Structure 1
């Protein structure tokens, strides 16, 4: 396989059309089709299914697509490293920050520190749901992520504990505010706005309730932080949030928050990276800056913290 054919293949899959991919790549469609046929001959697999609507990858094509992205990315980083030799560290580094967590507070300090110390390093910051971030890291499409995790080993990922957060009940001022702490058994009886069951916070809540033989009374499922805040402000019910986000909501709207106890629900943030793909030099530098920034925060877990890897099978 040569790199140009891999580039062509990735672009075809991204676009979903041979004709449009040929236009974007400035390659005649017959020539592009020939390159694809050559690639399929090399790997002895059909890589694309042709339909009236375009093309979609076969199962073998999906596997090659994932590997091709990693290969092309590593080649780009190698070229960047060679160009930067002797000129200081440079290159792109992607970092995922789980939304609605203390990770969001890392964004600006991280941007400032990287810009000041390593102006040749270009940061790409992405906020999305935690499960998606971990998949991006596992597939090599993202260098690092700060998200909930580390309690259990995940094949393909390494976690380093960063920060301890607790889950809190958040409600509008139209509801009587409980004390600073509230038992989970009382929370489960309230009308709650929670995210969908695949969301990591929802999973923590469901598991803690199940331990008491209870189920949370969910009246609506909301993923959007702005919509959730608006619903709480409007007095329609309560929600459960990490303490950092709970403080943000209560600071900007007529609401209160109370830490959940009996049992307390711990939501530890961790630094996630691949356990088999090496970090580029710029990514290693960004990782060290993240650890340095978190070390100054209260409740950090960095003392004697070690990466948590999947044991060999």
Structure 2
């Protein structure tokens, strides 16, 4: 098996058509079909199914597609490392930052610091939901991601705890009284707007209520900060967020913030990476900068650093 066949296969799957792939790759379709047949012969598996709309990968094809992306990405990084050995660090590094979290505050400082120290590193920043970020890191399509969670073991991933944040209630004005804190039991009958149940933050909230033997009154599920701020300001309900997210929502609307106590609830922010794919030298340098910025964020925002 050679890398060229893998590149051809990945491109065919990406475009979903042998004809279009041959045009993009500038390879005659009969030759491309022969390369695919050779690849299927090497694996002794059918890799693609032909349909009226083009081609789709089989189960074996999807497995090869995932591994081929990792292999090709590592080879490209190896080429870059060898070519620039002894020179300034260069190459592409991808970092995921879960939106609406303390991680979002790292985006601009990370970009500025990387450009200042390593101008030849091309940084790709992706802001997406945590579960999606875990998937792309596990598959090797992203170097690392900063997101909530990491307490439980996830196959193919490692987590380094960065800091923890206290959970706050964000509610319409006049809802929570004058105290700076609110006991969890006082939220028993409060209408709550929370993320969907698969969200890591929601899992922490549900666990806290379950431990207190309280059933939260969830009236809607949403994850958009703008919609959440508007809904709370209009009196639809309250929400529960880490302090950094709570302050962000409060900046967009007239709301009240109260720290939850009895018990205090904390959520960890973690750095997620593959547990079997080593980071490239440029990625290691970016990781070091991320850790520096987390320290700075902890000092400025009064959060609790863990690493």
Partner of 1:198: 198
Deviation at 1:26, TM superposition (A): 2.2
**Which residue does 2:165 correspond to in 1?**
165
- Cα deviation digits, residues 49-85 of structure 1 (max 9, x gap): 2222222211111111111000000111112222222
Quote the residue 2:305 is aligned against: 301
2:279 equivalent to 1:282: no
Measured on the aligned residues, the alpha-carbon RMSD in Å equals 1.6
Contact 1:100 1:242 in 2 (8 A): no
Distance 1:51 1:17 in 2: 10
Deviation string, structure 1 residues 15-51 (Cα, Å, up to 9, x no partner): 2222222222222222222211111011111111222
Query: Which residue does the alignment assign to 1:56?
Result: 56
Structure 2 equivalent of residue 38 of structure 1: 38
CA distance in 2, matches of 1:219, 1:21: 48
User: What is the rounded CA distance, in whole Å, between the counterparts of 1:40 and 1:165 in structure 2?
Assistant: 50
Q: Give the CA deviation at 1:178.
A: 5.4
What is the rounded CA distance, in whole Å, between the counterparts of 2:149 and 2:197 in structure 1?
Answer: 16
- Partner in structure 1 of residue 76 of structure 2: 76
Aligned 8 A contact 1:166 1:265 in 2: yes
Does structure 2 retain, via aligned residues, the 8 Å contact 1:171–1:177? no
2:145 match: secondary structure: strand
1:175 aligned onto 2:179: no
Q: Unmatched 5+ residue regions in structure 1?
A: 306-313
The answer as to whether partners of 2:229 and 2:252 remain within 8 angstroms in 1 is no
Where does residue 308 of structure 1 map in the other structure? none
CA contact 2:93–2:123 (8 Å) conserved in 1: yes
In the alignment of these two chains, the number of paired residues is 303
**Change in CA separation of 1:121 and 1:300 when aligned onto 2, cut-off 3 Å:** farther
TM-score calculated relative to the size of structure 1: 0.92
SS at match of 1:152: coil
8 Å Cα contact 1:146-1:271 kept in structure 2: yes
In structure 2, C-alpha distance between the alignment counterparts of 1:8 and 1:57, rounded to whole Å: 13
Structure 2 gaps, min length 5: none
- Does 2:95 correspond to 1:91? no
Paired position in structure 1 for 2:252: 252
SS at match of 1:165: strand
Cα distance, 1:177 vs structure 2:
4.3
Q: Which residue of 2 aligns with 1:118?
A: 118
Aligned with 1:286: secondary structure? helix
Q: Are the structure 2 counterparts of residues 176 and 266 from structure 1 closer, same or farther at C-alpha, using a change threshold of 3 Å?
A: closer
SS in 2 for 1:236: coil
Q: Deviations over 1:87-145 (max 9, x none)?
A: 31001111111111111111111111111111011111111111111121111111111
TM-score (norm 2): 0.93
In the aligned structure 2, how far is the partner of 1:88 from the partner of 1:227?
A: 44
